[in-house]
Amino acid sequence: MITAHGDIFPQEQLTDRTWEPGKGWKANRVFEGPEAQIQAMANNIIATSGRFVRVDVKPKPPGLATLTVSFDGIADGNQPEADANGEPVADADSWSLSGADSEKSIWSHSSVTALAAADPDGWQYLRTKVTEAEKDGTWVNIINAWDANQFTNATTSDDALTIFRALRDGVESYTVSTYILRRSRGISSASQGQVSVNYVGYTFTTAQLISHEGLPTALNFGLPTTGKWLKRTPSIQFDAVTGKMSVDGEFWWAEDWNTLLYPQR
């Protein structure tokens, strides 16, 4: 039979603490006591906050045990405060920028859209003559009979004729640069704060990405100086066992967005 002297309840040993940037104090708490009480204590901790801690029980003959509780980047079991924007504090927030070239219809070129806005009648003349030429193959005849009086001035007429000749030569698209910003967030404590999916489908200036979405200013050197970024729908994975969450999202850049379809933040 075991004879216990003194307090038989589990006794807490000195607490081990380490500081982790972005998450606060990480604590390892150690308890020693009768094995049955230690096991009951471990079961209670798992039931109340199992997703935030790691629990290790080691027998210590005769009839005793050691319980080690490692809190997952939180201060003695307390959750970290949310960021100022109400979202959980991220353990890791990584950004990447990828660029590529894509092709767009020549009808979306700024010279053509500017013509449509400044000289609707001239734009209509251009569209009509392109349709006529594609149908009947009369490109040369139309060029020779080009009516500059259909345009507001000689400059818009010359621009329209340049587009017409490009289409005659088989040029139906032009190359533009495209950029995609990707953000990957790792969050160990999803219970504090709420992941935001607000303003999906809105456009952001670079300054707004910095102030509202946490874009590092160090990335400024690699970003276009004009245009806006469209916030795309994020993807979220949540681990119900650990309580950890990963959030991935993208921002697509373009020189100009239709503000009716994609309002600005």
Domain ranges of the chain: 11-71, 92-102+177-254, 107-173
Q: Would you state the pLDDT for residue 142?
A: 94
Q: Would you state the pLDDT for residue 139?
A: 93
Cα–Cα distance, 207 to 220 (Å, whole number): 10
> Could you tell me where the beta strands, DSSP code E, fall in the chain?
11-12, 16-20, 24-34, 53-60, 64-71, 92-105, 173-187, 203-204, 228-231, 235-238, 245-254
Q: 94: burial class by Cβ within 10 Å (0-12, 13-18, 19+)?
A: exposed
Asked if 161 contacts 146 with a C-beta cutoff of 8 angstroms, the reply is yes
Mean pLDDT, 10 residues at a time, over the chain (265 residues)?
A: 55 69 68 88 78 80 86 52 65 83 89 90 94 91 93 92 94 91 79 71 92 82 87 86 80 90 93
In sequence order, the 6+-apart residues with CB closer than 8 A to the CB of 117 are none
Asked if 67 contacts 57 with a C-beta cutoff of 8 angstroms, the reply is yes
Q: What one-letter code names the amino acid at 59?
A: P
Q: Would you state the pLDDT for residue 85?
A: 63
Cα–Cα distance, 202 to 200 (Å, whole number): 5
Q: 61: burial class by Cβ within 10 Å (0-12, 13-18, 19+)?
A: exposed
Q: Would you state the pLDDT for residue 28?
A: 79
Among residues 253, 103, 231, 260, the alpha carbon closest in space to that of 173 is found at 103
Q: 3-state SS string over 151-211?
A: CCCHHHHHHHHHHHHHHHCCCCEEEEEEEEEEEEEEECCCCCCCCCCCCCCCEECHHHHHH
Structure tokens that stand for 77 in this block: 């079991």
Backbone dihedral region for residue 132 (phi beyond 0: left; psi -120 to 50: alpha; all else: beta): alpha
